[in-house]
Amino acid sequence: MLKVNNLSKTYSKGNTKAVDNLNFSVKKGEIFGFLGPNGAGKTTTIKMIVGLLKPTDGKVIINNIDNQKNVLQAKRHISYVPDKPEVLDKLKGIGYLNFIADVYGVKQEDKRKRMEYYLELFSMKDAVNDVISSYSHGMKQKIALIGALLHEPDLFILDEPMVGLDPKSSYNLKEVMRSRCEKGKSVFFSTHVLEVAEKLCDRIAIINKGKIIAQGTMEELRALEGEENSLEKIFLELTEK
């Protein structure tokens, strides 16, 4: 589903590599967690995966499509929700959702059913006719999430998705992530919430100072640092080395 090959990024302002030769892949039907301390390179990596930043080196392949050679085709397979979603403020929630569904060519009947389902799930039915500029941070995040789910992406990419969500919405989002994987779709997300990663992810990669320092299933990560260790302990031990 997603292959990241020798991916690097050096910002023109900085001398050091923000992302340094990353290699990993996300399989069909898998939830993949991307963990790392502040400034480790998570957002930079995600922006390269979704085609918002040009890599200095390396490749991103989405469903066998090189995202630098065929940006639009690659984008059809993904949805991305950034950590601070910038949804079109002047639109009403419903206008935004219709706009996104039309961009992706979602059929009317599918659009109606999916909107109804996700608006109910994320308690946004009452707010959908209000202007987005009147929404709270969490509500903006939820309308962005709903918009991102309308075209049933093969790969759902989320940067810090739990930040700003109330417990019920956070729980529901985790359920959505699980159900996407049961349908053979994939999820890639960054998080600082280690308990979420531990419970939810099939595989995890830990990035520190631009480099992946460990990746694998929870069992494989535990084998690196000791059988009994929680992800928190493994994370702290690996990132403080």
Ligand X SMILES: Nc1ncnc2c1ncn2[C@@H]1O[C@H](COP(=O)(O)OP(=O)(O)OP(=O)(O)O)[C@@H](O)[C@H]1O
Residues of the shown chain interacting with ligand X in the complex, contacts defined by CB under 6 A:
11, 13-14, 18, 36, 38-44
Smallest gap, in angstroms, from Cβ of residue 52 to ligand X?
11
Nearer to ligand X, 27 or 137 (CB): 137
As given in the structure block, the two tokens for residue 50 are: 């979704």
Smallest gap, in angstroms, from Cβ of residue 84 to ligand X?
10
Nearer to ligand X, 169 or 190 (CB): 190
Nearer to ligand X, 29 or 58 (CB): 58
Smallest gap, in angstroms, from Cβ of residue 18 to ligand X?
3
Nearer to ligand X, 41 or 164 (CB): 41
Q: What's the Cα-to-Cα distance from 158 to each of 31, 49, 110, 205, 220, rounded to whole Å? A: 11, 11, 23, 15, 24
Smallest gap, in angstroms, from Cβ of residue 48 to ligand X?
10
Nearer to ligand X, 41 or 147 (CB): 41
Q: What angle do CA 86, 52, 188 make, to 5 degrees?
A: 80
Smallest gap, in angstroms, from Cβ of residue 181 to ligand X?
24
CA gap 60, 49 in Å, rounded: 6
